[in-house]
Amino acid sequence: MINRKKIIAGNWKMNKTQGEARVLVEDLIRDIGKFDEAEIVLCPPFTSLSAVSELLSPVPNIKLGAQNMHEAASGAYTGEISASMLRELYVRYVIIGHSERRQYFHEDDATVNRKTKAALAAELRPIVCVGETLPEREADKWKDVLETQLKGSLAGFGDKELADVIIAYEPVWAIGTGKTASPAQAQEAHQWIREVLKKNFSATAAEKIRIQYGGSVTAENAKELLSMPDIDGALVGGASLDARGFTGIIKNACLK
Ligand code: PGA
């Protein structure tokens, strides 16, 4: 069986000023700066990337991620940020197509596909988010929704591209609601994602790719979720804003 190293990412969303970010990162470095059992990624807002990057430069175990980027290399896109701007700040990961981007900023699978390609071209590792809404889950359409999102978001990708992609399964009904998918529900969805990748892309990539679960992950539920065979990490929102919550998730879920 393939060994997929767990990857835990904190998505701070639109939270933390630069000063607040420094405090949190200093606490995290103290608590988990040497933690080697998982890959750890912090995704602060753009305005704190530079400060967090500096703090993390002597800490190889904690990597920097961004929450979004624009697909173009440069140009007249007021308010946007390009992949090369992120690279210059030693950003290594970028979240693409988060459900909040899809919902509030009208990003569709085609946009996600273009952004993911641009991220890979700049040697950033994209964390591509997929997930169904509550009505879609209740109508038992979640499998179709995930398949459509994956086919659209990863269109044109082969083994080479998929080797650097991380998928985040984030059921929209579980994000910020305190309503977590049960470990069995999450496992079923992750297994389905792997099947879709195998059927439409590549069996090798499907086996190797890491799939994070996201949606109300806490220090209390992380262990059970991450012990499922197809759950390779977590994309954490609310609980990543507090050092104790985030380190609790990492230690509970990843310590052998
Ligand atoms: P949550 O957010 O952990 O606050 O539910 C997860 C996410 O949106 O990435």
Q: Whose CA is nearest to atom 2 of ligand 1?
A: 237
**Residue 3 pLDDT exceeds 90:** no
Q: Which two tokens stand for residue 136?
A: 């879609």
Active site residue 54: no
Q: Average pLDDT for residues 97-113, to the nearest whole number?
A: 97
Cβ 215 under 6 angstroms from ligand 1: yes
**Residue 1 pLDDT exceeds 90:** no
pTM of the predicted model as reported, rounded to 2 decimal places: 0.97
pLDDT tens sequence across 128-147:
999 999 999 999 999 999 99
How many whole angstroms separate alpha carbon 7 and alpha carbon 211? 9
Give 184's contacts (C-beta < 8 A, 6+ positions apart): 228
Cβ 216 under 6 angstroms from ligand 1: yes
The residue from 39, 98, 100, 190 that is catalytic is: 98
Q: Average per-residue pLDDT in the chain?
A: 96
The residue from 71, 132, 161, 170 that is catalytic is: 170
Of 241, 242, 193, the closest CA to residue 213 belongs to 193
Q: Whose CA is nearest to atom 9 of ligand 1?
A: 237
Q: What are phi and psi of 93, to 5 degrees?
A: -125, 155
Amino acid at 29: I
Cβ 179 under 6 angstroms from ligand 1: no
Q: Whose CA is nearest to atom 7 of ligand 1?
A: 237
**Residue 63 pLDDT exceeds 90:** yes
Q: Give the ligand 1 atom nearest the CA of 99.
A: 8
Q: Ligand 1 test: best mutation among 7, 11, 127, 128, most atoms within 8 Å of CB?
A: 11
Amino acid at 27: D
Active site residue 106: no
The pLDDT of residue 237 is 97
* Pairing relationship of beta strands 62-66 and 39-43 according to DSSP bridges: parallel
Of 182, 235, 232, the closest CA to residue 207 belongs to 232
